[in-house]
Amino acid sequence: MSQAATEIVRISAHAGSVPGDGLNREFRVCKLVDTTTCIGCKACEVACLEWNGYSFSETTFDNSYQTMPETQWNYWNLIKFNEHEREDGTMQLLMRKDQCMHCAEPGCLEACPAEGAIVQYANGIVDFQEEHCIGCGYCISGCPFNIPKFSPTARKVFKCTLCNDRVSQGLEPACIKACPTGCLHFGTKLEMNDLAEHRAAQLREHSGFADAGVYDPPGVGGTHVIYVLHDAKNPQLYGGLPKDPHVPITVRLWKGPLKWIGNLAIVGGLLGVFIHYLRFGPKVVKEDEKTDEGDK
Amino acid sequence: MNREPYLLPNGRVLRYSFHERLIHWLAAVPYIYALLSGLAFWSPWLFWIAVILGGTTIARELHPWFGVVFVIATWLMYGMWGRQMRETPSDKAWWANIGHYIRNEDDQMPSADRFNPGQKLLFWGFVGNGVLLLISGLILWFPQYVPWSLRFLRLFAVIVHPICALLTIALFIIHVYMGTAFERGAFGSVIRGDVSRAWAHEHHRTWYERLLRESAERK
């Protein structure tokens, strides 16, 4: 956004074209997770905790390397370990770094009733503003990725910020910085898409992963965290990555048609009784006037 | 069943006992809080209501508690009025003449018992929606305890809760209008408890005539 200040579109008393006019700059950022080169070292988990100031949570042992079953309000970055048995009987250990996907059409934001509690920046980051959060948890229901988590102590909801504080200062997210294999990349959305497609093609052509591909689900308008998967046809193998995520239909119905119908019905009802009163007036029991006065 | 006599010595008729009035308001006051705070979460244009209800986070904390009190009071109401609210064969004729009722042509209305069919609709509407609001409300109260595999419950609650709330709002608007502006004497009946004999005769003739009969038998 600061770049826009240096981009000239008109120049006074200038003959000829404006240098740089019509130039398109990509403000959208993106994190690329190449699951094919992840070694499951969890450096990203630790870096996330360190940067965001959370202490390490208790681990849950479940016959796998996975730290805990799912992300927590104070544990935003979790590598999901999945043992997948292939058709030929060989085993494949699928590791996927799970975190907020920063959807272009965020279900959390759509479901949120509190003004200013969730914002989406022009660079694509979807960020919770906890000072405005009322702790209703509608974002939990709106998210197709099971990311927002309720803190019982703060009574508010937290999730990965894509290190908005670092990115706004020109730094890459903490997880990216910590990754030792280079399976995590950070850059503009266009660059990352390009890199991801390139890597997927490489996997298909040279590594025998015929179904390798990029996970950038169009159902939520694309995401600002994208994956390279060995098997893009079965993303659910990677710790329940949804195949075709959408903002839930009931959230859309509620925030769309139901809101209109409901608002019209409430206003119509209030107007209706008012007009009825103007037209017909109250029901007064005739003898009442006499007897009531008699009582007094 | 009722310890209080219905025909009062001052020539008036006891419409609602103290017990009935108390439960009515035990349902009404929490409902109004839940309604207003619910409207705040329903639309950004109404979010300011939450501010005057104690603050936005407080309103979120209190909304379900008031909802629970409302449902308890509705349950007590069900025990208190459930039998009297049952549909009777004469209800059809009442609904067939609803146009006369709306146009204040009450002399052309069939006589009503203690509760007319419109009041029965209000009652069952609140009881039925109250049950659904409670079930969906509990899910929305603690979304963090609904596991991901049971996510459909949350998605069901997200749409059922506002639909049921809107249905009660429709009933509530009509109820408040009739109770305060439209039917003179009705509001007093749920505050002080009594109505005039003429009012009882006009609006609930079957009930009033039974009271007279029972009173005569006792003598």
Give the confidence band of A185 by pLDDT, cuts at 50, 70, 90.
very high
How large is the greatest C-alpha to C-alpha distance in chain B, in angstroms? Answer: 68
Give the confidence band of A9 by pLDDT, cuts at 50, 70, 90.
confident
Q: Are A291 and B196 in contact (CB under 8 A)?
A: yes
pTM value? 0.89
Least Cα separation, residue B79 to chain A (angstroms):
30
Same domain, A217 and A284: no
How does pLDDT run across A237-278, given as a tens digit for each residue? 999 999 999 999 999 999 999 999 999 999 999 999 999 999
Q: How confident is the model at residue A296, as a pLDDT?
A: 36
Q: How confident is the model at residue A4, as a pLDDT?
A: 60
Cα atoms found within 13 Å of the Cα of residue B44, Cβ hemisphere only: 10
Closest of B181, B94, B165, B108 to residue A275, by C-alpha: B181
Query: For chain B, which ranges sit under pLDDT 70?
Result: 1-4
Contacts of B32 (CB under 8 A, 6+ apart): none
User: What whole-number distance in Å separates Cα of residue A231 and Cα of residue A94?
Assistant: 10
How many Å is the Cα radius of gyration of chain B?
A: 20
CB pairs under 8 A between A and B: 133
Residues in chain B with CB shorter than 8 Å from the CB of A287 are 196, 198
Query: Does the residue A209 lie in any domain?
Result: yes
User: What whole-number distance in Å separates Cα of residue A30 and Cα of residue A162?
Assistant: 9
CB contact under 8 A, A141 and B154: yes
How does pLDDT run across A96-154, given as a tens digit for each residue? 999 999 999 999 999 999 999 999 999 999 999 999 999 999 999 999 999 999 999 99
Query: Does the residue A172 lie in any domain?
Result: yes
Q: How confident is the model at residue A5, as a pLDDT?
A: 63
CB contact under 8 A, B198 and A276: no
Same domain, A281 and A199: no
Per CATH, domain B13-91+112-218 is 3.40.640.10: no
Same domain, A164 and A283: no
| DSSP for residue A105 | S
Query: Does the residue A296 lie in any domain?
Result: no
Same domain, A64 and A191: yes
User: What whole-number distance in Å separates Cα of residue A241 and Cα of residue A215?
Assistant: 9
How does pLDDT run across A275-292, given as a tens digit for each residue? 999 999 999 887 655 554
How does pLDDT run across A200-246, given as a tens digit for each residue? 999 999 999 999 999 999 999 999 999 999 999 999 999 999 999 99
| Residue span of the structural domain in which A84 resides | 29-246
User: What whole-number distance in Å separates Cα of residue A113 and Cα of residue B40?
Assistant: 8
Closest of A129, A120, A153, A143 to residue A224, by C-alpha: A120
How many Å is the Cα radius of gyration of chain A?
A: 27
Same domain, A237 and A217: yes
Q: Are B169 and A263 in contact (CB under 8 A)?
A: no
Check residues A7 and A174 and name the one with the higher pLDDT.
Answer: A174
Name the residue ranges covered by the structural domains of chain B: 13-91+112-218
User: What whole-number distance in Å separates Cα of residue A35 and Cα of residue A82?
Assistant: 12
Residue whose pair of structure tokens reads 């927002």 in the numeric block: A148
ipTM of predicted assembly, 2 dp: 0.90
| End-to-end C-alpha distance for chain A, whole angstroms | 77
User: Considering chain A, what is the average pLDDT of its residues?
Assistant: 92
For A270, the closest chain B residue by CA position comes to B173
Cα A33 versus chain centre, distance: 16
